[in-house]
Amino acid sequence: MFDLLFSYPWLPFFVFFARISDVTLGTLRIIFISKGKKILAPLFGFVEVLIWITVIGQVLEHSAGDIVCYVAYAAGYATGSYVGMLVEERLALGLHLIRVFTKKEGAVLTQLLNAANFGATTVVGQGVEGEVHIVETIVNRKHSSKAQALITNFDATAFFVVSDVRSVQRGIFASIRGNILTRWRIGK
């Protein structure tokens, strides 16, 4: 059925693009595991291994010892890693915790973040150079750059840390247009 596809002239191209596909899926699978997506991770893993076993079977059956297929295999792996990172960056799955340390009035930054529909909390702390205001907000990764720009506009000298968050319980998050199964979420 696939004799033409697996014939030698096409085999390196098949190997290259199949490896891009399975490594991209593998990259996303690992991300889904880290985000706790219990259904997506195994599904992506199934398809990933199905593609991989098909590719390795074709390489071993039709071109064992052929350097062109080996290079295509390795190049597909490297390209798939890159493509997987691009896809993950585009999907921007998950949440970020942004913790801001500023010498300016943290309540003002909290009000700015709240006005932009980001829930934020301010705590006053003591640092090496005296009193600091610590503002924390949890944002969807898709909105992280918007929140960071707001923080930088408020205080260009502010120190802030961005961390991935695995899960949250309740809170106020920026509105996101959902699909047909979700709705606009303004917060609590």
Break the chain into its structural domains and give their ranges: 3-91, 95-165
Helix (H) or strand (E) holding 103: none
CA distance 162 to 167: 15
Residues 106-135 have pLDDT tens digits of: 999 999 998 888 889 999 998 888 899 999
Helix (H) or strand (E) holding 104: none
Q: What is the pTM of this model?
A: 0.63
Class of domain 95-165: alpha beta
Residue with more model confidence, 122 or 180: 122
173 CB burial (10 A radius; 0-12, 13-18, 19+): buried
Residues 60-100 have pLDDT tens digits of: 777 666 788 889 989 999 999 999 999 988 887 778 899 99
Phi, psi of 40 (to 5 degrees): -65, -40
